[in-house]
C-alpha cells in the first residue's frame, strides 16, 4: 500500500504534494470560468437560458454518474494511475469544448464532468492514504489551491475573452495547466516505485463490509455534500447574470465572482482551525451553512452592499466544501471505504446539485427576474443548516461504528 509511513526524502515529499496540488488546481477552472461568459456563449450559440442552465449542470450530472463507478477501476488499476488518465481526459475535454461545432461544446463539457468526477472522488482517499494524521489541514490547503485556480478562472474569463476575441480560447487556455499536471503526476508515479507503488490493486483494498448505502452517517454526509454543492454551482453559474440584471457591468461581475472565490480560499483555510482533530464537527458545519443563509437574505433585502454579501457567500461555500471533503475522509475509516463513501457522497450529492443551475435558469427565464434564484439558494442553505446537526456530530465508539458506519 502507498502508505504515509513510507520513508521519503524531502524532494520526494515535495513532489508528492506538488503533484497533488497541481491536480487540485485543475479540478475547478474548467467549471468556474463558464459562468462569467455564459451570456457570450448564449449569444454565439443561440442557446436559451434554460439550455445554458443545462450546460452548467452537465458536469454535475457527470459527477453523479461517474462517482460511484470510480472504486472499481481504482481497485484494478490503482488510484494514481486512474488520476493520470482522468487528467488526460480533462485536457482533451477542455480543448474539444473550445472548438466551433456546437456538439463539441456539449461533448467536451461531458468529458470535463466525467474526468473531474474521478479527481473529486480520489483526492480525499489520496489525502487519507498519504497523510492520515493531517486530513483536515491538507484538505483545507488542497481546497485552497482548488479555489484559487477557480477564482482566477472566474475573474480572468471576461478579460481573456475580450483580449482573445472570443470565449472559446479564453476557456481553452486552461488545457495548458492540465497538461502540466499530467506531466508532474507522471513524474510522481515514475519516481516513487516499490511495493507501495501506484497502480496496484492494493492501493484500494477490497474489504468485506457493510455497504455505505446502508449507513445513516453516509447519507448525512452525502446530503450535506449535495446541498453545499448545489448552492456553489448555482451561484458560480448564475451570479454574474443576477448582477447583470441589476446593472452591474460584465467585467465587474466577473471580478465579483473572483472575490467570491477568494473569500472561499480564506474561509477554507480558516475552517480547518475550527475543525481540528476533534470528532465533533457540528460547529464548523453550522458556521459555513448559516453564512449562506445570511448572505442570500442580504442580497435580496440589502442589495446596496451586494459585494459584502457576495464575499460572505463565497466564504460559506469555501468553508463548506472543506468541511464536506474532510467529513468524507474522516468518516471513511480505510482507503477502500473512503473511496466508496466519496463515490456515494459525490454521486448523489452532485445529482442533487445538478438541479441547481437548471432550476435557476428556468426561474430566471420564466419570471424575467433573478431574485427568486437567490431565495432558492437561501432555502437550500436553511436545509443544509438542519442537516449539519447530524452530519457533523461525533461518531459512535469503535465497537458501534463497526456495525453502523461506512
For the stretch 50-69, pLDDT in tens is: 888 888 888 888 888 898 88
Query: Does residue 160 belong to any structural domain of this protein?
Result: yes
Q: Kindly state the helix (H) or strand (E) to which residue 191 belongs, with its residue range.
A: helix 175-191
Please tell me which residue, 194 or 222, carries the higher pLDDT value. Answer: 222
Q: What's the whole-model pTM score?
A: 0.72
Q: Model confidence at 333, in pLDDT bands (50, 70, 90)? A: low
Domain count, the chain: 1
What is the arithmetic mean of pLDDT over 347-370? 85
Query: Does residue 316 belong to any structural domain of this protein?
Result: yes
201 pLDDT higher than 60: no
Question: How much of the chain, in percent, has pLDDT values that exceed 70?
Answer: 88
Query: Does residue 198 belong to any structural domain of this protein?
Result: no
Please tell me which residue, 339 or 81, carries the higher pLDDT value. Answer: 81
CATH number of the domain that 371 lies in? 1.20.1250.20
What is the arithmetic mean of pLDDT over 101-122? 93
Query: Does residue 5 belong to any structural domain of this protein?
Result: no
347 pLDDT higher than 80: yes
DSSP state of 405: -
Q: Which residue range forms the structural domain that includes residue 384?
A: 11-192+203-404
Query: Does residue 101 belong to any structural domain of this protein?
Result: yes
3: three-class secondary structure by DSSP: coil
What value does the CA radius of gyration of the chain take, rounded to a whole number of Å? 20
Residue/partner pairs of 109-114 with CB below 8 Å, 24 or more apart: 109/55, 109/58, 109/59, 110/58, 110/59, 110/62, 112/30, 112/31, 112/59, 112/62, 113/58, 113/59, 113/60, 113/61, 113/62, 113/63, 113/66, 114/62, 114/65, 114/66, 114/89
Query: Does residue 183 belong to any structural domain of this protein?
Result: yes
The Cα 322–Cα 153 span in angstroms is 20
Query: Does residue 197 belong to any structural domain of this protein?
Result: no
**CA 327 from centre of chain:** 14
* Residue-level pLDDT at 398: 47
* 98-116-237 Cα angle (round to 5): 65
Average pLDDT of every residue of the chain:
84
210 pLDDT higher than 80: no
Tell me which range, 7-16, 89-98, 236-245, is most confidently predicted by mean pLDDT: 89-98
128 pLDDT higher than 90: no
Amino acid at each position: 500500500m502507498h502508505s504515509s509511513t513510507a520513508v521519503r526524502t524531502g524532494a520526494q515529499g515535495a513532489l508528492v504534494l506538488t503533484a497533488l496540488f497541481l491536480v487540485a488546481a485543475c479540478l475547478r477552472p474548467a467549471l468556474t470560468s463558464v459562468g462569467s461568459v455564459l451570456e457570450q456563449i448564449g449569444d454565439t450559440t443561440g442557446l436559451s437560458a434554460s439550455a445554458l442552465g443545462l450546460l452548467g449542470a452537465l458536469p454535475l450530472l457527470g459527477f453523479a454518474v461517474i462517482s460511484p463507478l470510480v472504486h472499481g477501476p481504482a481497485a484494478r488499476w490503482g488510484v494514481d494511475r486512474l488520476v493520470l488518465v482522468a487528467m488526460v481526459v480533462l485536457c482533451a475535454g477542455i480543448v474539444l469544448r473550445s472548438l466551433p461545432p456546437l456538439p463539441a461544446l456539449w461533448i467536451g463539457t461531458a468529458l470535463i464532468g466525467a474526468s473531474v468526477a474521478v479527481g473529486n472522488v480520489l483526492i480525499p482517499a489520496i489525502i487519507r492514504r498519504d497523510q492520515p494524521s493531517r486530513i483536515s489541514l491538507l484538505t483545507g490547503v488542497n481546497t485552497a489551491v482548488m479555489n484559487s485556480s477557480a477564482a482566477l478562472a472566474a475573474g480572468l474569463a471576461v478579460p481573456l475573452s475580450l483580449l482573445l476575441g472570443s470565449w472559446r480560447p479564453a476557456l481553452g487556455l486552461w488545457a495548458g495547466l492540465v497538461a502540466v499536471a499530467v506531466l508532474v503526476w507522471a513524474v510522481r508515479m515514475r519516481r516513487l516505485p516499490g511495493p507501495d507503488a501506484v497502480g496496484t490493486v492494493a492501493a484500494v483494498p477490497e474489504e468485506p463490509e457493510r455497504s455505505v448505502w446502508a449507513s445513516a452517517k453516509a447519507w448525512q454526509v452525502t446530503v450535506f455534500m449535495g446541498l453545499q454543492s448545489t448552492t456553489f454551482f448555482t451561484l458560480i453559474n448564475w451570479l454574474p447574470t443576477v448582477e447583470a440584471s441589476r446593472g452591474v457591468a460584465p467585467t465587474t461581475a466577473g471580478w465579483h465572482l473572483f472575490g467570491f472565490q477568494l473569500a472561499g480560499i480564506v474561509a477554507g483555510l480558516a475552517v480547518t482551525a475550527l475543525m481540528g482533530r476533534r470528532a465533533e464537527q457540528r460547529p464548523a458545519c453550522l458556521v459555513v451553512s448559516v453564512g449562506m443563509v445570511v448572505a442570500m437574505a442580504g442580497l435580496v433585502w440589502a442589495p446596496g452592499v451586494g459585494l459584502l454579501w457576495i464575499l460572505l457567500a463565497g466564504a460559506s461555500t469555501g468553508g463548506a466544501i472543506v468541511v464536506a471533503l474532510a467529513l468524507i475522509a474522516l468518516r471513511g475509516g480505510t482507503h477502500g471505504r473512503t473511496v466508496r463513501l466519496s463515490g456515494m457522497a459525490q454521486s448523489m450529492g452532485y445529482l442533487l446539485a445538478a438541479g441547481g443551475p437548471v432550476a435557476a435558469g428556468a426561474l430566471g427565464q420564466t419570471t424575467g427576474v433573478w431574485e427568486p434564484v437567490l431565495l432558492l439558494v437561501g432555502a437550500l442553505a436553511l436545509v443544509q443548516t438542519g442537516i449539519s446537526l447530524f452530519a457533523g456530530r461525533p461518531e459512535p465508539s469503535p465497537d458501534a461504528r463497526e456495525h453502523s458506519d461506512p
